[in-house]
C-alpha cells in the first residue's frame, strides 16, 4: 500500500531527526518533563531513578493525561521492552510480554495489591479491564523481581499507583464519545483534613466495538463491551507515629466474544461477565525518630468470571464456564534507616490462593466437561534487601528471598544491582544479576484432567548492563541497556501425556535504547527502541508474538498557553504466530505495522477542557494475534469539567 510505505519512510526519517536533535540520546523515562522521577516499586522506598540500577519506565500523570486514552494497556504499550497483544477490540483479552517472558510471568499490582488471577490456567493477568480513573502513575520494572515480590515476577512488574489528595478538595467529571458508538463517562474527587485524606474515581464505558474475529475474513458482527469501574484510597493519621491506609478497586465488565479468529469466528451469543474486587489495608508504625518503620499490609484479590455461549441460528453448539479465584496476602515489612547511606528492608509474607472452575460444552451431541474442584496452596516467604547510596557516587541493592511453597518446598532467589554515578559528567553506569522463579498454577497442579502434582517451579536467571547519560543541564537524558535472560523448567502442555510438565527452555537477549529531550520550552520528545531475540532453545524457533524490533515516539507540546498537543507513533516488526484455522495448525508470520495516534486538548477556561483524539490516523491494516481484528482509523472527542 503506497501510503503505508510513504509514511513508514517518513517515520524513520522523523525518528532519525529526533535522535540527532537529542544528540543521539537515549533515556529511561518516556515523555515526562520531570527528567528524574521518583520510583517506588523497584526498592519499596522512594528513590530517584538515577540511584536505581533496575531498568525502569515511569508514566506520570501528565503523560497519561496527554494521551487521552482509557486503559493501562493503551499507555504502557509505548514502553521499551514490553509488548502488548490483544485478541480483538475493547474488552477482549490483553496480554503483556516483558523482555520475551510469557505474559503470566509478569506480576501486575495496584498500589501493591497483586491482581494476577489464580483461576486462569497459568495465573496470568488480563489487562483489558484496567481503566485509568484515579491513576497517578504507572511504574514498569523489567527483569526478574522475585527477591522482593516472589513468584510471577520473573519477567518484571507493572505497578499501577493511584492518586493521593494534594491539600485541597478537587473534583472533575468527563464525558467522551466517538467511533464504534462509544460512550464514556468518568469522574474523580479527592480531599484531605488534618488527620485524613481520600481520593476516588469511577469509569463507565459502553461501546459497540467491532468484530473480535477479523472482519478481513468475513466476520461482520460487532462485539459490544461495557465496563464499570471504581477505584479509591484513603489514609488516616491517628497519631504522629501511627497511620492507616486502604485501597479498593471494583471492576465489572460484560464483553461479547467470538469463537475463534479468522473465517467463521463470529458468534452472536458468546459472552463473558467478569467481576473483580481488589482490596488492601495497611498500618504503619514509625519508631526511633522514623528510623525504624514497620508496615503491615493485608490484601484480597477476588476474581469471578463467567463465559456463556448459547445456541444460535448458525450453530447449535453451546458452552458454559464459571471460574473463581482468590488471593489473600499478609505482608510484614520493616524499614531500617539508621545509617545515612544504608537502608535495610526485612519482611515476612504469607500468601494463600484458591481457585475452582466448571466448564461444559455440547458440540453436535459430544459433551465435554472439565470440573476443577476447589484447590488451594500457600506460600510463606522471608526476604531481606540492603539498599546502598554511598556519598551519592556508588549505589545499588542486594536482595535475598526464600519462598516456602506448600507443594514443592523452599526456593531461594537473589538480586545484585550495583551502580556508579559520575556527577561531573552526568553519567550513570548500571548492572544487575538476578534470579527468579514462578510457582505452578493451581490448575496446572490439580486439574483432574491435565494437572500434575509433581510439577516444579519455572526458573530464570538474568543479567543486564547499561548506562544513562544526562546532557544539557539534564534537559536531555540518554540510556542504553543490554540484557540476557534464560528460562528453564518452563511449564508446557505435553500432548502425548495430556499433562502439564516441566519441559521448555527459552532465552531472550537484546538491547533497549530510549531518549528524552526537553531542549525547547513546552516541547518534550521521547523515543524508545527495543531489539530482542527471544527463542525456544529446544528447537531454536522464535517465541510467538515477540517482535525483534519495536520503536516508539512520544511528543508533547503546549502552545498558546491553553493548547496541548500529543503525538504517539509506534512501530512493531514482524513476529511469528500460530494459524489455528486449519488442521494441523501452522506457523505464520505477522506483518510489521506502524500506528500514529494524535490528541489535542484546549483549556476553554479554568474549569473546562475540551479534547479530541484520532487513533490509527493512517488507517493501518494490521493484526496483533492472527485472525483477530484491530481498529482502523477512529476518532473521539470529549469534555472535562473540573473544580
Nearest-angstrom CA–CA distance, 441 and 47: 33
State the average pLDDT over residues 369-392.
Answer: 95
Strand 47-48 and strand 38-39: the pairing is: antiparallel
Establish how many alpha carbons lie within 13 A of residue 263's alpha carbon, considering only the half-sphere containing its beta carbon: 2
Nearest to 341 by CA among 275, 393, 302, 304: 393
Grade residue 11 by pLDDT with cuts at 50, 70 and 90.
very low
pLDDT of residue 312: 83
Instruction: Specify the range with the lowest mean pLDDT, choosing from 2-6, 112-116, 292-296.
Output: 2-6
Helix H or strand E segment including 280 = strand 270-287
Quick check: 586 and 579 in contact, CB under 8 A?
Answer: yes
Counting residues of the chain whose pLDDT is more than 70, the rounded percentage is: 94
Strand 156-162 and strand 135-142: the pairing is: antiparallel
State the average pLDDT over residues 195-222.
Answer: 94
What radius of gyration, in Å, describes the C-alpha atoms of the chain?
24
Nearest to 293 by CA among 641, 571, 45, 64: 45
Nearest-angstrom CA–CA distance, 13 and 248: 46
**27 has pLDDT over 50:** no
- Which is it for the CA torsion 31, 36, 41, 42, positive or negative? positive
DSSP 262: S
- DSSP of 509-551, one letter per residue? EEEEEEEEEEEETTEEEEEEEEEEEEEETTTTEEPTT--SEEE
Quick check: 151 and 404 in contact, CB under 8 A?
Answer: no
3-class state of residue 122 by DSSP: coil
DSSP 103: G
State the average pLDDT over residues 277-284.
Answer: 98
**204 has pLDDT over 60:** yes
Grade residue 240 by pLDDT with cuts at 50, 70 and 90.
confident
**8 has pLDDT over 70:** no
Q: Quickly tell me which residue has 453448539 as its cell.
A: 317
Q: Quickly tell me which residue has 474442584 as its cell.
A: 373
- DSSP of 435-498, one letter per residue? EEEEPPPHHHHH-TTT--TT---EEEEEEEEEEEEEETTTTEEEEEEEEEEEEEEEEEEETTTT
Q: Which domains does the chain have, with CATH numbers?
A: 2-642 (2.40.170.20)
pTM reported for the whole predicted model:
0.93
The CA-CA-CA angle for residues 505, 412, 80, to 5°, reads: 55
Instruction: Specify the range with the lowest mean pLDDT, choosing from 55-59, 337-341, 411-415.
Output: 337-341
Q: Quickly tell me which residue has 473534583 as its cell.
A: 171
pLDDT digits (tens, 9 = 90+) for 537-555: 988 899 999 999 999 999 9
Nearest-angstrom CA–CA distance, 156 and 153: 5
Q: For 296-449, where are the alpha helices, taking DSSP H only?
A: 442-446
Amino acid at each position: 500500500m503506497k501510503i503505508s510505505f510513504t509514511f513508514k519512510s517518513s517515520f524513520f526519517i522523523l525518528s532519525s531527526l529526533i535522535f540527532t536533535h537529542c544528540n543521539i540520546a537515549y533515556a529511561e523515562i518516556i515523555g515526562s518533563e520531570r527528567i528524574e522521577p521518583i520510583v517506588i516499586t523497584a526498592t519499596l522506598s522512594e528513590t530517584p531513578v538515577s540511584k536505581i540500577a533496575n531498568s525502569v519506565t515511569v508514566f506520570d500523570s501528565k503523560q497519561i493525561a496527554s494521551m487521552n486514552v482509557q486503559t493501562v494497556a493503551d499507555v504502557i504499550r509505548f514502553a521499551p521492552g514490553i509488548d502488548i497483544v490483544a485478541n480483538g477490540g475493547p474488552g477482549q483479552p490483553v496480554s503483556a510480554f516483558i523482555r520475551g517472558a510469557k505474559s503470566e510471568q509478569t506480576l501486575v499490582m495496584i498500589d501493591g495489591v497483586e491482581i494476577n488471577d489464580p483461576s486462569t490456567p497459568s495465573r496470568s493477568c488480563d489487562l483489558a479491564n484496567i481503566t485509568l480513573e484515579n491513576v497517578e502513575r504507572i511504574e514498569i520494572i523489567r527483569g526478574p523481581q522475585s527477591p522482593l515480590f516472589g513468584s510471577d515476577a520473573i519477567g518484571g512488574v507493572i505497578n499501577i499507583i493511584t492518586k493521593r489528595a494534594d491539600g485541597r478538595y478537587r473534583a472533575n467529571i468527563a464525558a467522551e464519545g466517538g467511533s464504534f458508538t462509544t460512550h464514556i463517562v468518568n469522574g474523580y474527587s479527592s480531599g484531605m483534613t488534618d488527620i485524613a485524606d481520600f481520593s476516588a474515581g469511577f469509569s463507565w464505558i459502553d461501546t459497540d466495538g467491532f468484530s473480535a474475529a477479523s472482519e478481513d475474513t468475513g466476520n461482520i458482527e460487532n462485539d459490544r463491551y461495557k465496563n464499570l469501574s471504581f477505584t479509591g484510597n484513603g489514609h488516616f493519621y491517628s497519631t504522629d507515629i501511627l497511620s492507616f491506609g486502604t485501597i479498593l478497586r471494583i471492576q465489572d465488565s460484560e464483553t461479547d466474544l467470538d469463537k475463534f479468529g479468522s473465517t467463521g469466528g463470529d458468534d452472536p451469543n458468546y459472552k463473558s461477565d467478569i467481576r473483580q474486587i481488589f482490596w488492601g489495608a495497611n498500618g504503619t508504625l514509625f519508631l526511633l525518630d522514623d528510623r525504624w518503620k514497620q508496615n503491615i499490609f493485608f490484601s484480597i484479590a477476588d476474581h469471578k468470571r463467567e463465559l456463556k455461549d448459547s445456541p444460535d441460528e448458525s450453530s447449535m453448539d453451546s458452552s458454559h464456564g464459571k471460574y473463581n479465584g482468590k488471593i489473600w496476602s499478609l505482608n510484614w515489612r520493616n524499614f531500617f534507616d539508621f545509617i545515612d547511606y544504608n537502608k535495610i528492608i526485612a519482611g515476612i509474607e504469607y500468601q494463600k490462593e484458591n481457585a475452582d472452575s466448571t466448564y461444559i460444552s455440547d458440540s453436535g451431541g459430544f459433551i465435554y466437561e472439565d470440573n476443577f474442584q476447589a484447590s488451594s496452596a500457600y506460600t510463606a516467604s522471608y526476604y531481606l534487601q540492603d539498599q546502598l547510596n554511598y556519598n551519592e557516587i556508588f549505589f545499588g541493592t542486594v536482595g535475598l528471598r526464600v519462598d516456602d511453597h506448600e507443594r514443592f518446598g523452599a526456593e531461594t532467589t537473589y538480586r545484585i544491582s550495583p551502580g556508579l554515578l559520575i556527577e561531573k559528567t552526568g553519567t550513570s553506569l548500571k548492572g544487575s544479576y538476578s534470579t527468579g522463579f514462578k510457582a505452578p498454577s493451581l490448575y496446572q497442579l490439580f486439574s483432574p484432567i491435565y494437572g500434575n502434582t509433581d510439577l516444579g517451579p519455572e526458573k530464570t536467571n538474568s543479567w543486564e548492563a547499561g548506562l544513562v547519560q544526562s546532557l544539557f543541564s539534564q534537559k536531555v537524558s540518554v540510556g542504553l541497556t543490554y540484557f540476557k535472560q534464560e528460562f528453564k523448567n518452563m511449564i508446557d502442555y505435553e500432548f502425548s501425556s495430556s499433562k502439564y510438565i516441566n519441559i521448555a527452555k527459552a532465552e531472550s537477549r537484546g538491547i533497549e535504547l530510549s531518549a528524552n529531550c526537553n531542549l525547547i520550552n513546552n516541547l518534550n520528545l521521547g523515543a524508545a527502541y527495543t531489539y530482542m531475540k527471544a527463542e525456544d532453545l529446544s528447537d531454536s524457533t522464535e517465541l510467538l508474538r515477540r517482535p525483534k524490533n519495536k520503536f516508539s515516539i512520544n511528543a508533547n507540546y503546549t502552545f498558546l498557553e491553553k493548547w496541548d498537543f500529543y503525538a504517539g507513533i509506534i512501530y512493531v516488526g514482524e513476529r511469528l504466530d500460530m494459524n489455528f484455522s486449519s488442521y494441523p495448525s501452522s506457523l505464520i508470520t505477522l506483518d510489521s505495522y506502524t500506528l500514529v495516534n494524535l490528541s489535542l486538548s484546549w483549556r476553554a477556561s479554568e474549569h473546562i477542557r475540551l479534547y479530541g483524539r484520532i487513533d490509527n490516523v493512517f488507517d493501518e491494516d494490521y493484526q496483533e494475534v492472527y485472525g483477530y481484528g484491530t481498529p482502523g482509523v477512529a476518532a473521539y472527542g470529549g469534555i472535562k469539567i473540573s473544580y
